Amino acid sequence: MEETLKILVVDDDEVDRIAIRSALTTAGVQMELSEVGDSHDAFSILSTTAYDCVFLDYRLPDRDGLNLIQQLHSSEIKVPLVVLTGQGDEQITLKLLEAGATDYLSKSRISPETLSQVLRSAIRIYRAEMQADLANQQIRESHEQLTCKNQELERQQQQIQMQNLKLLEASRLKSLFLATMSHELRTPMNAIIGFSQILLRPKFGQLTQQQTDMVERILNNGKHLLMLLNEVLDFSKLEEGGLDLKAEIFDVSKIINLVVSEMRSLAEAKNLSLLVQSDLQNPLVFNDPVRIKQILINLLSNAIKFTESGEIWVEVKELTANRVVIIVQDTGIGIAPRDFKHIFEAFRQVDQTITRKYPGTGLGLAIIDSLVRMMGGKIFLKSKLGVGSMFKIELPRQITLPTVAANTPASQLDNDGFVCPGKNPHHSSSQANTASR
Ligand code: ADP
């Protein structure tokens, strides 16, 4: 069923009003028609009642149609408006449309067809305009919301940047503190070690057995403390990028044998066999011998520390002509896959409690990790709880100086199927679990 339209005719001429009414009736428009004779009454009725369309005579007794349209516009009264113009009003039509009229029709053209056509197209145009207005309004609102959200994001980003700066500063101060403290503590520690060694020499007087025991303890504890201090110092230097590799050509198997012989007494004290196998066609490498030694000492002391019975193997071999592999393997407590990634982080240990069985700073593997990255190498870890661990270090035969790769993960998938903890931290299998760094 066709909708009933509420139509208002604003015209002071009774004949014209009748013409419009009869044309609309003849056209079959279902309507509720109201009529007023001047713009004052038109404004009053339009202020209180909603109409589907208004036919407005341009020439009204009190003021012209343009004036009324402007008043309606400034009062935000919206309605489809068709202005009926007379002879000579043609030049005003553009202004009428600009002011807000929906359409215009010359009175001389009024007929049932034209009037109903103008009526329907005015209503259609008006509704389309309303929809466009609504969409514009929604766009404006969402634009405002987006602007607000953007502002909020910018504010949060600024806060994060501020916090980052604070964190960087705190981390810089922490590194500085660690470096200063460990450096300052090393001087008295060296004196303690030096004087204990002097006291143990017979030419400075014979000590009783009890005194010798005590001085030896001072010496051993001093050495241990110095080692811890050196770890902290190295770590803070590595963090600040202040540690340089001093590369030279040397025989890597000689260094390995030297470290193994230095550590043998520690292994023997725990009844562990310490086996070493060097399988190199060419034992010469270009690297920093002090740092290679440090890596080995760390890996070996961990292997000894975390193994209660069984064996420890150290192996060095060539992977290719340009790559050398050092392997340290034990039959110790092993490492669970969930800990593979964390143990390479600074100050991280599998057992983080203060009552833990195994002492240490938790810096050894973090230092090894950084050094191996600097050397352009990779670390692979293969371990199974209760069975043992294997740390494999792959290094270029000749390192490039300076190799600044501290932020580049050394971890990758190994040809042997070693798994990177970063890529698969929860990897577990019935076989020995593996990881690479
Ligand atoms: P630290 O030995 O001083 O605790 P590391 O960085 O050298 O620190 O090692 C971190 C942790 O990794 C150790 O606390 C231990 O939990 C684990 N870990 C390292 N090496 C081994 C190993 N060979 N066997 C078992 N666990 C190990």
Q: What is the pLDDT of residues 200-248, one digit of tens each?
A: 988 878 889 999 999 999 999 999 899 888 888 888 888 877 788 999 9
**Residue 420 or residue 79, greater confidence:** 79
Work out the pLDDT band at 432, boundaries 50, 70, 90.
very low
Work out the pLDDT band at 408, boundaries 50, 70, 90.
very low
Each residue's pLDDT tens digit, 305-342: 999 999 999 999 999 999 999 999 999 999 999 888 88
Residues 23 and 42 in one domain: yes
The protein residue with its alpha carbon nearest to ligand 1, atom 20, reads 302
Each residue's pLDDT tens digit, 98-113: 999 999 999 999 999 9
Closest CA to 68 of 100, 91, 90: 100
Residues 198 and 271 in one domain: no
**Residue 368 or residue 176, greater confidence:** 368
Q: In percent, how much of the chain has pLDDT > 70?
A: 89
Q: Is residue 121 part of a domain?
A: no
What's the whole-number average pLDDT of the chain? 87
Residues 329 and 193 in one domain: no
Looking at ligand 1, which atom is closest to the CA of residue 332?
A: 24
Residue 237 confidence (pLDDT): 83
Looking at ligand 1, which atom is closest to the CA of residue 301?
A: 2
Residues 23 and 77 in one domain: yes
> Which amino acid is it at 91?
Q
Other beta carbons within 10 angstroms of residue 121's beta carbon come to: 14
Residue 235 confidence (pLDDT): 86
Q: Is the pLDDT of residue 415 over 60?
A: no
Residue 73 in tokens: 């516009």
Q: Is the pLDDT of residue 430 over 50?
A: no
Q: How far are the Cα atoms of 3, 51, 298, 344, 410 from residue 435, in angstroms, in the given order?
A: 76, 78, 18, 11, 11
Q: Bridge-partner residues for 251, per DSSP?
A: 284
Residues 217 and 295 in one domain: no
Q: Bridge-partner residues for 31, per DSSP?
A: 5
Q: Is residue 122 part of a domain?
A: no
Looking at ligand 1, which atom is closest to the CA of residue 362?
A: 8
Residue 43 confidence (pLDDT): 95
Work out the pLDDT band at 353, boundaries 50, 70, 90.
low
**Residue 144 or residue 87, greater confidence:** 144
| 380 CA → ligand 1 middle, Å | 14
- C-alpha 243/C-alpha 228 separation (Å) is 17
Residues 53 and 87 in one domain: yes
Residue 354 confidence (pLDDT): 59
Looking at ligand 1, which atom is closest to the CA of residue 356?
A: 14
Best probe residue, ligand 1, of 343, 370, 379 (max atoms within 8 Å of C-beta): 343
Residues 234 and 285 in one domain: no
Q: Is residue 204 part of a domain?
A: yes
Closest CA to 114 of 24, 181, 194: 24
Residues 234 and 313 in one domain: no
Work out the pLDDT band at 4, boundaries 50, 70, 90.
very high
Span of 7-11, 175-179, 195-199, 255-259 with lowest mean pLDDT: 175-179
Residue 426 confidence (pLDDT): 32
Residue 433 confidence (pLDDT): 53
Residues 286 and 377 in one domain: yes
Ligand 1 binding site (Cβ under 6 Å of any ligand atom):
298, 302-303, 306, 330, 332-333, 335, 343, 349-350, 360-366, 389
Average pLDDT value for residue range 27-31 = 93
Q: Is the peptide bond before 359 cis (omega within 30 degrees of 0)?
A: no
Other beta carbons within 10 angstroms of residue 389's beta carbon come to: 25
Q: Is the pLDDT of residue 414 over 50?
A: no
Residue 420 confidence (pLDDT): 42
Looking at ligand 1, which atom is closest to the CA of residue 231?
A: 3
Residues 262 and 359 in one domain: yes
Q: Is residue 436 part of a domain?
A: no
Q: Is residue 11 part of a domain?
A: yes
Q: Is residue 30 part of a domain?
A: yes
Q: Which domain holds residue 56?
A: 5-110
Average pLDDT value for residue range 67-93 = 89
Q: Is residue 38 part of a domain?
A: yes
Work out the pLDDT band at 293, boundaries 50, 70, 90.
very high
The protein residue with its alpha carbon nearest to ligand 1, atom 12, reads 343
| 360 CA → ligand 1 middle, Å | 8
Residue 132 confidence (pLDDT): 94
End residue of a domain, out of 187, 212, 240: 240
Residue 431 confidence (pLDDT): 40
Residue 404 confidence (pLDDT): 45
Looking at ligand 1, which atom is closest to the CA of residue 307?
A: 24
Average pLDDT value for residue range 15-38 = 94
Q: Is residue 426 part of a domain?
A: no
* CATH code for the domain in which residue 105 is found: 3.40.50.2300
Q: In percent, how much of the chain has pLDDT > 90?
A: 68
| 241 CA → ligand 1 middle, Å | 24
Contact 372, 379 (CB under 8 A): yes
> Structurally, how many domains does the chain consist of?
3
Q: Is the pLDDT of residue 368 over 70?
A: yes
| 359 CA → ligand 1 middle, Å | 10
Q: Residues 175, 178, 180, 186: is their CA dihedral positive or negative? A: negative
Residues 380 and 281 in one domain: yes
* CATH code for the domain in which residue 176 is found: 1.10.287
End residue of a domain, out of 214, 240, 266: 240
Residues 95 and 10 in one domain: yes
Residue 88 confidence (pLDDT): 76
* CATH code for the domain in which residue 351 is found: 3.30.565.10
- C-alpha 163/C-alpha 90 separation (Å) is 69
C-alpha dihedral, 188 to 190 to 196 to 202, nearest 10°: -140
End residue of a domain, out of 110, 128, 143: 110
